[in-house]
Every structure is written in C-alpha cells, then in structure tokens.
Amino acid sequence: MSDVRGAAARRLARLATRAVVARPGLWRLFRGPLRSAFDRLAPVWEDIQGPEALAPLAHALDRLERPPARVLDLGTGTGKAARLVAERFPEAEVVGVDLSPAMVEEAHRLLPSALAGRVCFEVADASALPFEDGVFDLVVLLNMIPFFGELARVTAPGGSIVVASYSGPSTPIWTPPETLRARLEPFGFEHVGELEAGAGTAFLARRPDPG
C-alpha cells in the first residue's frame, strides 16, 4: 500500500512543481492535496531514501564561503536535511518547516537529543513564511518547490540558497537550474554553481552583501 501511496504522491508532486513554478497562483489548488499526500507518507518517509540522498546537499554545503548562523530548511519532511546542516555547522540554529503536520511530528520524534537545543520544526507554508525579512544566512531546499519571492524575502544579505535534488531531473520535485537562475537573478542573487554528487544535483546561489 505504501508503494501505491508513494507513486501517487510522486505524480502529484511532479505535476504541482511544474505548474506552480510556472504559475505560482496555482499553489492554492495543490496545497491541500499535497499536504494530505505527505501526511499519509510521513510514517515511512524517513526510510524511503537512504543517506546517499543527502550527498548533493552535503557537497553544496562544502562550497559555502562561511558557516551560517541561522538556517531555514524548507520542506523539511522528517528533518534529514535539517539534521545534516546542524551536524555540519555546530554553532548554527536550524529551523525546519513543512506543510505536513504529520511530517513535522515525525521530525520532532527523530531529532536526536544532542541537537534539540539548536534545531526546531514547525508547520508552515513556504509560499507565506512566518518569519521576518532577511533573518536566515542559509536557506536549504531538498526536493522542494521554490517560492522565489519568499526565498528572497527571508534570506539575509550575504546569505545563500541551496536547492538540491536526490536524483536530479528524475526527482519528482525538481526545478531546472536555468529556471532557478532566471527567477533568482531579479532578486539580486548571484549564481555560484551547479554541483553533482551521487545521483543528485544541487544549485547554489548567493545574495551579495552591500555592506
């Protein structure tokens, strides 16, 4: 049954990504169905992909110019990316958000006690984030639909964005790098690089610090 649910979620995620990146206003049509699909998958989500799925993100983190102090993990799921970032940068505070309450519940359950003081999770919609402007030095998206206006709003001057996919174009939630460049440049982001690791890819962009 979980395989059937997973296949249906992948089809929905692929359709939603293409539609919403092209026309963000369509998100209102996909928000509810995606929340429900990932709520159903939450109990098995942690084991669907192994550690290799984090390789593109880890490679991109190696390219950052300086350690971030505050990190946002968008579409955190069960918190894999948030945990990786917190382990990689032991001084950083990490906030993981997800549209699915069941995913956030799993992320809380799986969080090691050693990270509990620096990592937190909450339910939030990436199209309308409950954070002030420019508060994150790093924003991470692992297999996540990008909402470009909100990404730009919450990223601090000098901050970076990493968009990673565990299997590149085969990933259900994937945005072509040329689209990422074109949509981020009007917000002042500079394209830093496109990386490959394992079967996946990552895109790294940085907002210059005018100071």
State pLDDT tens for residues 152-185. 999 999 999 999 999 999 999 999 999 999 999 9
- The CATH number corresponding to 2-206 among 3.40.50.720, 3.40.50.150, 3.40.50.300, 3.40.640.10 equals 3.40.50.150
Lowest mean pLDDT among 22-31, 45-54, 71-80: 45-54
- Give residues with Cβ within 8 angstroms of 186, minimum separation 6: none
pLDDT above 70 (res 47): yes
Indicate the domain borders of the chain. 2-206
- The pair of three-digit structure tokens given for residue 40, joined into one six-digit string: 């159903």
- The pair of three-digit structure tokens given for residue 73, joined into one six-digit string: 């993990």
pLDDT tens, residue by residue, 114-141:
999 999 999 999 999 999 999 999 999 9
C-alpha 99/C-alpha 97 separation (Å) is 7
C-alpha 202/C-alpha 143 separation (Å) is 10
pLDDT above 80 (res 186): yes
Spatial contact of 175 and 17, defined as CB atoms under 8 Å apart: yes
